[in-house]
Chains A and B, each alone.
Chain A
Amino acid sequence: MQRWIVVVVAVIATGAPGASPGWGAAPPPVVLGVLTPLSPPGDPAAGQLIVQGAQLGETYINSVMGGVFGSKTSCPQPATPVRIAVEDDSGTPEKSVAGFRRLVTEEHAVGVFGAFHSSAMLATAPLADDLGVPYISTQASAADITAKHFAAVFRTHPVDPDRAAAWLGFIQAQNWHKIALLAENTDYGIGLAEATKSLIAQRKLAMTLDAVVFDRTSADLTPQLLKIKAEKPDIVLNVGVGTPAYLIIKQAHDIGLFPQTPMLASYDFPVRPEEYWKNLGPTGTWLVFISYFHPRMALTTLGKWASVEYAKRFHSTAVYSNLNSFGDAVILAEAMNQACSRDPKRIIAQLERGRFDTWIGSGATFPRAAGVRWHQWSPPLVILQYTRPDETYDQAPILYPPAMKTGAFEPAH
């Protein structure tokens, strides 16, 4: 908590107009809004990482790109610095709407990113359309965010079908057939359970899926896990976020379900090593999990700059939240340069038209495609496994996709 107060203060301090050296009488900075959870019931830990990424983005745009516009581009306007403005959405619809409004009307942000909680972002999406200000989802994954085809809403985060495709691909490659899925009753859990179910049906895979939904506030999942154990699945999919994700691993271990039966976690919480190994100890060995980033993945120049700078500034390894938030800031700056405009409506038009370099790939596009692919660009996913206690994620082998594979799935022994 104190840490994030420091972060917020630091953001305000570094973001204050005129703080960047050498701008003198330059035009007023272009403001990029960061709307992210910095207090409960949201996930402040994630929000903090996103803010750090946005700070890197600000530095990159101002130092490496020389601000937006200017002589490095074909735009007539003089080079203009950017500044990020941070707002807390607490992960709730109401605070998110209020924060977006403040960013646009008080701070005059020309674009907003940093969303983490889907329900907060969904509430704000119509407002983004109304105000005509582009709003990029950094880590909110509900299908509706793009499936509802909001004119001003974009996303650079994998959607449920991406995730379902990745783990079903992995399961198929392992020749497993009987899947048990334990999902929390949130947008994320239910959305992912439904996406997995419909992908199995759509691809006519020879798999059975037994999905159990539980209340997120439950602390004891033993009954659900006993039921799953009795059905002897080939794999258990763990769709909990935060506390429930840990509880599932711990309690599955207690009743002898895990690691005898492999478990695959739906997002990258194990990459925060201090938290993961501290909470689970040796129990956490053998977990298979989806990650959005692995140092073995080929980063672009942008991505390399960000991970080096991150290590310098924050003295630890950059994680996906940092990089993707950084990427969103840069995408907005690129769109401004391509459109030669800081008008939010022109930025939206350019996002739909242009191709953008990101931290992980070049040529990201946000076309007006059908369904959930509207304004959607998905970074690649990898599936990793921890095979010994206290391993860090950059040491963990990549099991999937086959193109990046660095190891095979190891059953517990």
Chain B
Amino acid sequence: MDDPIAPAAGGVTASEPRAPWAAGDAVRRSMLIAAGLGAAALLPLVLGTYPIHVLTVACYYVILASSWNLIAGYTGLFSLAHHAFAGIGAYASALLALRAGAPVPAAIACGGLCACAAGYGLGAVTLRMRALYLALATWAFAESVRIVVSMEYGVTRGDLGLAVPLLLPTSSPRPYYELFLACAAATVGGLALLLRSRIGYRLRAIRDDETVARAAGVNTVRWKRFVFGMSSGIAGLAGALYGHYIGLLSPAAMQFDEMALIIIMVILGGQRTLVGPVIGAVVVEVASEALRAYGQLRMVVFALLVIAIMRVYPPGLAGLGRMLWTRLRHGLAAGDTTGHRARQPE
């Protein structure tokens, strides 16, 4: 579903048909993105604090889902410890701020670094494992981290919850929303750049066939560790930011359900696309808030959707949206340019 080593420039979402007007399209697309971001940034002017809080949390999940998509979707390392790295970042940052009195922004940076280091280490240990063992080993790592955090309550206060100083001198979600939105945009933008670069092609080469990639001169060992450290670092930063927004950490956020939620978001939105995790995270978070009254039935529906998507339509919501968009445009194009474009082979 995505082409292996495509020529540089342009082809991040590789299944996008490339028409002659692609250059103009790229400009139009970036204008569209800028306009969308601008509109999103202005949302606090029209929405109350509760919807803004929900969107802030959605931005947090956008970061987690996108960074997991980098490691599992693009690179093919099916890690099941992503939520644990968010937790490591959050706890490291909180403990630094609380016990060592570090200023919160510095603590958050350190939290990200800790998660990055842990991820790099886990990547190094699991380097030679095949997919299934990798999943098992990362799962075992995540479970151990959770149990240690909840049992070492002398340090982490376990399920009592660790009260964390806030990042900004307010608990109003508006400024946090802008911050999280900026971070989510930066994450997705950064990933887009990374994936367009040579590194991106190396990572996808590893996913497609590690042996071939190695034969083609890709230092798979180095890039696998890199991508582990990088995506874990992003997750750690997100976790730390989130902790200093909510103001309380508890090991409940490190349960496997959280990882399942990330997977659901990515698959629902569309794996191996940049917009997929964004759509998935926002849709799942907003829908589960809006459908509160239906309780656990929401999760049943989400799980069924994911299974259905895996079974019959792997491109997910992002693929569906793109298909509809293409249809729509083609329909319009066919209407007003007397079939000029319809003749072009796509």
Q: Which residues of A contact B (CB under 8 A)?
A: 1, 4-5, 8-9, 38-41, 44, 87-88, 92-94, 97-98, 101-102, 105-106, 118-119, 122-123, 126-127, 130, 142, 144, 148, 185-187, 190-191, 213, 215-216
Contact of B246 among A1, A40, A88, A97 (CB under 8 A): A97
B151-192 interface code vs A (CB 8 A; 1 in, 0 out): 101000011110100100011110000000000000000000
Q: Can you give 25 contacting A-B residue pairs, CB < 8 Å?
A: A39-B295, A39-B296, A41-B255, A88-B295, A93-B161, A93-B246, A97-B246, A98-B289, A101-B50, A106-B48, A118-B161, A119-B161, A119-B250, A123-B246, A123-B247, A126-B247, A130-B170, A130-B171, A142-B160, A185-B151, A185-B153, A186-B158, A187-B159, A187-B160, A213-B151
Residues of A within 8 A of B289 (CB): 98
Q: List chain B residues, Cβ under 8 A from A97.
A: 53, 246-247
Q: Is the CB of B170 within 8 A of A101?
A: no
In contact, B248 and A5 (Cβ under 8 angstroms): no
B21 part of interface (Cβ distance < 8 Å)? no
B40 at the interface (CB under 8 A from A): no
Residues of A close to B54: CB separation below 8 A? 98
Binary interface encoding of chain B residues 49-62 relative to chain A, with 1 for a CB under 8 A from any of its CBs, else 0: 11001100100000
In the complex, whether B75 has a CB less than 8 A from a CB of chain A is no
Dominant secondary structure at the B interface: helix
Of residues A119, A126, A127, A191, which shows the largest number of chain B Cβ atoms within 10 Å of its Cβ? Answer: A119
The answer to whether B173 touches A101, judged by C-beta atoms less than 8 angstroms apart, is yes
Chain A residue with Cβ nearest B56: A98
CA A343 to CA B147, docked complex, whole Å: 45
- Shortest C-beta distance, B334 to chain A (Å), equals 46
Q: Are A122 and B161 in contact (CB under 8 A)?
A: yes
B160 touches A119 (CB 8 A): yes
Q: How far is the CB of B138 from chain A (nearest CB, A)?
A: 19
Main SS at interface, chain A: helix
Q: B158 to nearest A CB, angstroms?
A: 5
Q: Which chain B residues lie closer than 8 Å to A44 at the CB level?
A: 295
Residues of chain A contacted by B248 (CB below 8 angstroms): 93, 119, 122-123
A129 closest partner in B (C-beta): B171
Q: Are B159 and A216 in contact (CB under 8 A)?
A: yes
Known contacts A1-B295, A5-B294; can you find 6 more A-B pairs with CB under 8 A?
A5-B293, A9-B293, A93-B250, A101-B173, A122-B161, A130-B171
Residues of B contacting A185 in the complex (Cβ-Cβ under 8 angstroms): 150-151, 153, 158-159
Q: Which residue of A lies closest to B294 (CB)?
A: A5
B190 CB → nearest A CB, Å: 26
Judging by beta carbons under 8 Å apart, are A215 and B150 in contact?
yes
The one of B57, B147, B252, B295 in contact with A4, judged by C-beta atoms closer than 8 angstroms, is B295
Closest B residue by C-beta to A102: B50
Least Cβ–Cβ distance between A4 and chain B, in angstroms: 7
- Return A181 CB to nearest CB of chain B, in Å: 15
Q: Which residues of B contact A102 (CB under 8 A)?
A: 50
With an 8 A cutoff between CB atoms, is B311 at the interface? Answer: no
- Given known contacts A105-B50, A126-B171, A186 and B247 CB-to-CB distance under 8 angstroms: no
Shortest A344–chain B CB gap in Å is: 15
Q: Which residues of B contact A5 (CB under 8 A)?
A: 293-295
Q: Quick one: which of B160, B171, B253, B295 contacts A186, CB cutoff 8 A?
A: B160
State A38–B297 Cα separation when bound (angstroms): 13
Report if B99 contacts A (CB, 8 A): no
List CB contacts (< 8 Å) of B255-289 with chain A. Answer: 255, 289
Q: Does B130 contact A (CB under 8 A)?
A: no
What are the interface flags for B203-240 relative to A under an 8 Å C-beta threshold, 1 for contact and 0 otherwise?
Answer: 00000000000000000000000000000000000000
B292 at the interface (CB under 8 A from A): yes
Using Cβ atoms and an 8 Å threshold, which residues of chain A touch B50?
98, 101-102, 105-106
B117 to chain A, nearest CB (A): 26
Closest to A106 in B: B50
Distance between A126 CB and nearest chain B CB, rounded to angstroms: 6
**CB of A46 to closest CB in B, whole Å:** 15
What are the residues of chain B within 8 A of A4 when measuring CB–CB?
295
6 closest A-B pairs (Cβ-Cβ)?
A: A123-B248, A119-B161, A187-B160, A186-B159, A102-B50, A93-B248
